[in-house]
Structure 1
Amino acid sequence: MHAGGHINPAVTFGLFLARKVSLVRAVLYIVAQCLGAICGVGIVKGIMKHPYNSLGGGANEVASGYSRGTALGAEIIGTFVLVYTVFSATDPKRSARDSHVPVLAPLPIGFAVFMVHLATIPITGTGINPARSLGAAVIYNQKKAWDDQWIFWVGPFVGALAAAAYHQYILRAAAIKALGSFRSNPTN
């Protein structure tokens, strides 16, 4: 598997758990994703200093009025939706099964990201990508962004773990069981 569109450590972690990416490749991707995010935010700060400063550097923080637990839950659920959608949209068995319906993987993934943003921007500014959250925290370098940073790693990694487990073990196990009972049914 080539790098393709690997820009999110949570998605990479989910793919690692599903044995679609090796440990070495996953670690290298995550390091590159974090370095790329730091460089990207640095460039934005350099060329758009006033909007960067007026918008808090794009750093993810728990919004006032929300608890850290609520923010963590939002990040877990949001990342679950994203990673599950990536698994579903890129599942080779799905494309073979539904070959009469041409679906481009970026379309459902982009829609999932859009929907997650609608739901979580008011709570956390929408993390769901630990590298992006880290890049903004490193360059913006304010206490609140650092104090809340753990939420933007733990939430996405737990969400990715849940999505990988659900897709690989619950859905796949149910499909294998259904196929087995279909094949063993003598009336078919």
Structure 2
Amino acid sequence: MDEVQGKKDYVDPPPAPLLDMEELKSWSFHRAVLAEFVATLLFLYVLVATVIGHQRQPACQGVGPLGIAWAVGGMIFVLVYCTAGISGNPMYLANQLSGHINPAVTLGLFVARKVSLVRAVAYMVAQCLGAIFGAGLAKSVMKHYYNTLGGGTNVVVAGNSKGAALGAEIIGTFVLVYTVFSATDPKRNARDSHVP
């Protein structure tokens, strides 16, 4: 194995331990969990506020779907940039970076043994609580619009089935997780993959 590893121009990080209870004693673990909570809270707040802001404007005067997409993409970029360096166990540094912001990403990284079960569960709980608090913050700031416009929730558009909407969500989630795996692949840095 060492001979094969020696010929590679990258190093495969070791898989994360399945159950690492020592993480619970580490300040960096708790800091990373807090970062997940705050990042998800901010993401949901900005997303819900942007959608409500769009919905309350007269036709063709709001930010539109493209503006909402830019708000979502921009927030993901900023939040991942701000939280990705908040790490866990230095031995598994490449595996246990924060900045997931989405339980689907955390679940995918757990299945691939990039994060331990303890970290995955803690991240997902923090992300769900962050989402609840983020939506609650949006509701408290703009209660009237939040209540009258349905809280900025998605609906299945007339002419589409719930099955088609579910399929689109599954495909979108797959693309998100696939992108995270691609961006964090240790082989990509070694080949200068961002340069044609």
TM-score normalised by the chain length of structure 2? 0.47
TM-score normalised by the chain length of structure 1? 0.49
More RCO (CA 8 Å, sep 6+): 1
Q: Greater helix share, 1 or 2?
A: 1
